[in-house]
Amino acid sequence: MGEPDGGPDAKKEINVEVSQVLNALERERELLQEFYVLSSQQLALLDDENLDGMGKLLDARSDLMLELTAIETTLGTWITQLRNDSKITTDVLKELRLVNDEIVRLANEIVELDEQTHWRLDLIKQKSAGELQSLHQSQNVLSSYSMTVRIEPNFKFNS
């Protein structure tokens, strides 16, 4: 078995942890890429004002968020353990940092897409509110008109 003083088996155990972290980071990046695609599709649906198609996208995004949250929780613990391990080389940390930088870049792009989505949703809400107000005013005008213009039946017959 492995030696407790950091023999060959101990290094192998650390490499497994590093590979687990890298695999988890890669999975996180894949999930964020899927999230980015969904966010882009969401913007396209808003451009078409297709709010019905948004439900499926929001469900898919929710599923991705659950998995991302689980990965993030695990990664946080693992990365803290790796940082505190003096056997981890700077090359390994550099590789982890590169993948993490890509993840941060993707997350920032998703935030930008979501900001555009919220802006467009606000425009749609304003447009809808204006249309509802206009419709309500039209109904009031018609209601007022019907109350002021009364057609009285004329029962007088001209002979």
Structural domain of residue 50, as residue ranges?
9-146
The pLDDT score that the predictor gives to residue 89 is 85
In Å, what is the CA distance from 122 to each residue of 30, 52, 76, 115, 126?
Answer: 30, 17, 36, 11, 6
Closest CA to 41 of 53, 29, 28, 27: 53
Residue 151 resides in a domain: no
Helix (H/G/I), strand (E/B), else coil: 84: coil
What's the rounded Cα separation, in Å, for the pair 6 and 2? 8
- Write the CATH number for 75: 1.20.58
Residue 153 resides in a domain: no
Residue 156 resides in a domain: no
Taking the model in full, what pTM does it have? Answer: 0.67
Provide the residue-wise pLDDT of the chain in tens; the chain has 159 residues: 444 444 444 444 454 478 888 999 999 999 999 999 999 998 888 888 777 788 888 889 999 999 999 998 888 888 888 877 788 888 888 888 899 999 999 999 999 999 998 888 888 888 888 777 777 776 666 666 555 655 555 666 665
What's the rounded Cα separation, in Å, for the pair 10 and 105? 34
Domain total of the chain? 1
